[in-house]
A and B are shown apart, each in its own frame.
Chain A
Amino acid sequence: MLIYKATELVNFAQGDLLMLGAFIAYMAVVWWGVDYWISFLIAVLVVGAFGALLDRTVLRRVIGQPQFAVVMLTIGLGAIFRTFASVTWGSEIYTLPTPFSSVTQIAGVTLSHQYLSIIAATLILCGVLYVFFSHTRLGVAMQATSQNQLAAYCMGIPVKLIFSLVWAISAAVAAAAGILLAPVTLIDTNMGLAVALKAFAAAVVGGFGSIPGALVGGISIGLIELYAGATLPEGIKNTAPYILLLTMLAVRPQGLFGTPGGKRM
């Protein structure tokens, strides 16, 4: 769910982009009566373009400033998006109708197609991203840019363009995730914040910058949350992911799949 690998930038507005994606899809499906798949595409494209625009207008100016500035900037942007959403769409809760409403029985377990669709889409998305980052010229260029902007620039990589592309992709992925999540969590203006926090937990547990790690981290966070909700006293469920996150950071900061980083002057 997170694109950190390419930019080493952490985007705290990710959750809010996710929310925007869900809202746009909702508008397309319910208000304009567009087909689900086409509106999925529309939402992803719109939010992706929006991400690129954001980079062009706002985020490019803080290149060269400490990471802290970017973190605060994205937090501020997230707050603006939330306000925008609550002003335009109000604070009601919406449900997004999807074509996946039936259920299947596999080996006695009832699986709803909604969850299956989420799992399948996540796997496909992760696969595509993994291949993109490790096997295409553009993906490798993005990784190079993330590691050393100046060196990448000297090697002829169009760093500015790469940055815009990275933000576009990351926003588009967030939008896709938002649309997939919409039937499960329902759409409201605060859906992004909760999801983004858990996504951070997943990313840290799995190891920042590792796509298989993010998958494993996400699954383990989800499972732990479920089991904690079922077996432990009420209230632990909401905090369990964060407790796991803290212990993980204390014990193995690079995460399960991260590579221990050496430090260089």
Chain B
Amino acid sequence: MKYHMGYLFLDIETYVSPDDDASGLNPFRPASKVLSIAYNYYDGFKVKESEIRKPTILKEWEDGEKKILTKLWDFLRVKLENDEHLKFLGFNILKFDMTYLFGRMQVLKIADKNEMYEVLYRRPHYIDLGQISQVITKNRFKEFLNVSQKTTNRFFDLPIKKGTGKDVSKFYDKKEYDKILDYMNEEFCFELLYQKLRRHVFAKKVNEINEDSSN
């Protein structure tokens, strides 16, 4: 059954400890923790707008960190069995989400390191929307300065999430879990963002071709 060329959109929230800001970015700090994992898989050759749905959200406050990481691990293994062209997509997913997950999975011994590397890095393909988003900025240092998801969403008239990842940790400390879910659902508009970025890049390309041919 190896006919899929699917898309997996993925996003995580991590714990930023009041005593150690780095815990939200570095998976190996004592207070580091994955709080929630949101994902959505589409098995078609293209993501159709009519098929976009709310993501699955795994919650640390319901199952514990080890269990949600195991659930994600199991899911990825099954998906890669059936879809050898699977693409992982997210905003800044290469630098942040996947490295943090890889680190936490090592700390919690979710699987053998060699197998983890295969499933998380070697077998899937990647499309990092954060990197593609550099095309929208007019900053002359655009290769170095990352564009935020808020800036990108604003550019494409997509809903802009309120608050930041740090707020999520505050909600978590106060057990305001519904607020975390609202934040995640608001942030999770990667399917539309991907479509808009593709159209934008291709339109630019067509413009360039037209300009070249008219010269």
Chains A and B bind each other: no
